[in-house]
């Protein structure tokens, strides 16, 4: 791993984490076809840092929403302990958003028993390629869904559960987490801007939880090579900066109903990587 590889993977992570083209799938293909050294270590620890970089992007872009949700979360806890909780009053939008995200996160626990198999799929270029083709079909049909009007004020817990199951499927490498969750939200009648915002905000507990589990695996595997830390941090910073602008782009494209354009990219990338698999082992 050198600085050039680190920067390239940071750019790749920042773009692919938010654009609906699967960051995990692209990182897996990059590592496979370009023969990144120390593959296992890179896959585990550097991937954690890259996701941390894009997590920072979400915090910066949606800091007002996050602050409101944190505030409402503690107000809710205070109301529960004081046995008041605002009876007779409708819940503020930020408080409803917290509840929706909590419910949408629960299906991820179904992935824990098969976590090792999901991670093993990262090493299969053929699996990732086929998953990219599937992501293309998901995006193609998402553009053709009717425009919805649901926001955090009107979305139901059932809606959150459906989007949460989509997020669980999105843990597979090659399946775009943002693409499948935004599409699931649109299917449930979400407003397009809200579908994007909900998808990115619900990624916060998911990514944090995944990073904690991955760090545990890193420590059990023997820790981290501190000599490579400066290289890793450069890639993390690049992922954070690129990710911020990628979020802006996704919001713009989603509002205009232009996700279908990424379908063609995913189909092309999937077919190309399948073909390349016959020549690069």
Q: 20-34, 90-104, 124-138: which has the minimum mean pLDDT?
A: 20-34
Q: Over 80: is that where the pLDDT of 219 sits?
A: no
pTM across the whole model: 0.85
Q: Interior CA angle at 241 toward 167 and 50, to 5°?
A: 50
- Give residue 76's pLDDT: 76
Under the banding of pLDDT at 50, 70 and 90, the label for residue 257 is confident
Q: Report, as an integer, the average pLDDT of 154-173.
A: 95
pLDDT of residue 263: 92
Lowest mean pLDDT segment, chosen from 2-11, 209-218, 248-257, 267-276: 209-218
- Cα Rg of the chain, angstroms: 19
Cα distance between residue 234 and residue 210, in whole Å: 21
Q: Which among 38-42, 90-94, 148-152 has the top mean pLDDT?
A: 148-152
Structure tokens at 249: 């782009």
For the chain, the first-to-last Cα distance in angstroms comes to: 20
Q: Which of 62-66, 246-250, 274-278 has the lowest mean pLDDT?
A: 274-278
Q: Which residues contact 40 (CB under 8 A, 6 or more apart)?
A: 221
Whose tokens are 């929706």? That residue is: 100
pLDDT at 206: 84
Residue 91 CB neighbour total at 10 angstroms: 16
Domain boundaries, the chain: 3-82+91-276
Q: How confident is the model at residue 39, as a pLDDT?
A: 47
- The pLDDT, as a whole number, for residue 144 is 84
Per-state percent for the chain, helix, strand, coil, to nearest 5 = 80, 0, 20
Give the per-residue pLDDT at 258. Answer: 81
Task: Answer for the pair 278, 95: CB distance below 8 angstroms, yes or no.
Answer: no
The rounded distance, in Å, linking the Cα atoms of 184 and 193 is: 13
For the cut 50, the answer to whether the pLDDT of residue 83 exceeds it is: yes
The SS3 call for residue 150 is strand
The Cα–Cα gap between 57 and 10 comes to: 13
Q: Do residues 164 and 101 lie in contact, with contact meaning Cβ atoms separated by under 8 Å? A: no
Between 102-106, 175-179, 217-221, 274-278, the lowest mean confidence (pLDDT) is in 217-221
Report pLDDT for 281. Answer: 56
Q: Can you tell me the distance from the alpha carbon of 16 to that of 174, in angstroms, rounded to the nearest whole number?
A: 10
**Helices 177-187 & 125-142, crossing angle to 10 degrees?**
30
User: Which residues, including other chains, have CB under 8 Å from residue 43's CB and lie 6 or more apart?
Assistant: 27, 28, 31, 122
Percentage of residues of the chain with pLDDT beyond 90: 47
**Residue 42 DSSP class:** I
């Amino acid at each position: 791993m050198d600085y050039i590889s680190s920067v390239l993977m940071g750019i790749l992570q920042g773009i692919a984490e938010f654009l609906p083209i699967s960051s995990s799938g692209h990182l897996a293909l990059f590592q496979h076809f370009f023969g990144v050294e120390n593959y296992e270590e890179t896959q585990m620890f550097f991937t954690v840092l890259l996701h941390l970089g894009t997590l920072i992007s979400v915090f910066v872009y949606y800091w007002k929403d996050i602050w409101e949700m944190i505030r409402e979360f503690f107000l809710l806890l205070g109301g529960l302990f004081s046995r008041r909780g605002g009876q007779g009053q409708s819940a503020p939008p930020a408080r409803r958003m917290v509840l929706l995200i909590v419910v949408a996160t629960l299906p991820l626990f179904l992935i824990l028993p098969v976590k090792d198999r999901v991670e093993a799929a990262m090493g299969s270029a053929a699996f990732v390629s086929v998953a990219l083709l599937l992501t293309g079909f998901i995006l193609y049909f998402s553009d053709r869904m009717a425009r919805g009007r649901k926001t955090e004020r009107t979305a139901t817990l059932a809606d959150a559960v459906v989007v949460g199951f989509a997020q669980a499927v999105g843990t597979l490498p090659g399946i775009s987490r943002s693409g499948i969750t935004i599409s699931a939200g649109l299917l449930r009648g979400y407003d397009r801007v809200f579908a994007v915002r909900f998808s990115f905000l619900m990624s916060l507990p998911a990514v944090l939880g995944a990073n904690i589990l991955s760090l545990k695996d890193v420590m059990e595997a023997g820790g981290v090579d501190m000599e490579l830390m400066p290289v890793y941090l450069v890639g993390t910073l690049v992922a954070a900066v690129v990710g911020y602008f990628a979020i802006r782009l996704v919001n713009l494209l989603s509002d205009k109903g232009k996700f279908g354009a990424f379908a063609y990219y995913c189909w092309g990338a999937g077919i190309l990587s399948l073909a390349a698999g016959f020549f690069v082992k």
